[in-house]
Amino acid sequence: MAQKKILIVDDDKEYLEELSEMLTLAGYDVTSISDGSSAIKAAQVTLPDIILMDLRMPVMSGFEVADRLKALTQTCNIPVIAITGYYTMQEHVWLMKFCGIKRCLKKPVSPVEIKAEIENVLKEEEDKK
C-alpha cells in the first residue's frame, strides 16, 4: 500500500514541527507549510491525500485557503481537517461546509485523536471510490 501524503498548514512553527514529526513516525509522507499562500502552491504540487489546517493564520485564514483549494480542479477533492484553538464546529459549521472542510478538531488535540480522524477521513474517501 502506498504511503499516504499529508499536508500540514499551521503558522505555529513549534506545533507544526511536533505534528509533522508525529505523523512521519506514524508512516505518513508529510509536507509542512506555515502560511496560506504557500499551502495552496504545495497542495497543487504534492497533491496530498489529506490536509490538516489551522483556521486562524495571518494574511490568509484556513477558511480562505480551503475555499481557494475547493475552487481548483486539481485540489477540489482533497479532504481538509481543521485543527484550531479558536473555533468550534458549532460556531462555524456553515463556513466549514461552504469551504469544504470535513472535520474540525479543537486544540489541544491528542496524537491518538489526530491519527483516528485522519484514518476515518481517508477511509471515507476510499469508500467513495
Residue 117 lies in a domain: yes
Q: What is the mean pLDDT of residues 4-25?
A: 94
From CA 24, how far away is CA 31, in angstroms rounded? 9
Residue 129 lies in a domain: no
SS3 category, 65: helix
Residue 85 is predicted with a pLDDT of 78
Buried b (16+ CB within 10 A) or exposed e, 37-65: eebbebbeebebbbbbbbbebeebbbbbb
Helices (H) and strands (E) in the chain, counts: 5, 5
Burial label for 77, CB within 10 Å (0-12, 13-18, 19+), is: exposed
Residue 94 is predicted with a pLDDT of 63
Residue 75 lies in a domain: yes
Residue 43 lies in a domain: yes
- For the chain, give the mean pLDDT: 88
Q: Note down the domain range covering 58.
A: 5-124
pTM for the predicted model, two decimal places:
0.90
Residue 95 lies in a domain: yes
From CA 32, how far away is CA 17, in angstroms rounded? 8
Residue 81 lies in a domain: yes
Residue 27 lies in a domain: yes
> How many separate domains does the chain show?
1
Residue 118 is predicted with a pLDDT of 94
pLDDT in tens, 63-72: 899 999 999 9
Residue 106 lies in a domain: yes
The single residue listed with the C-alpha cell 504540487 is 45
Residue 9 is predicted with a pLDDT of 96
Give φ, ψ of 76 to 5 degrees.
-65, -25
CATH number at residue 112: 3.40.50.2300
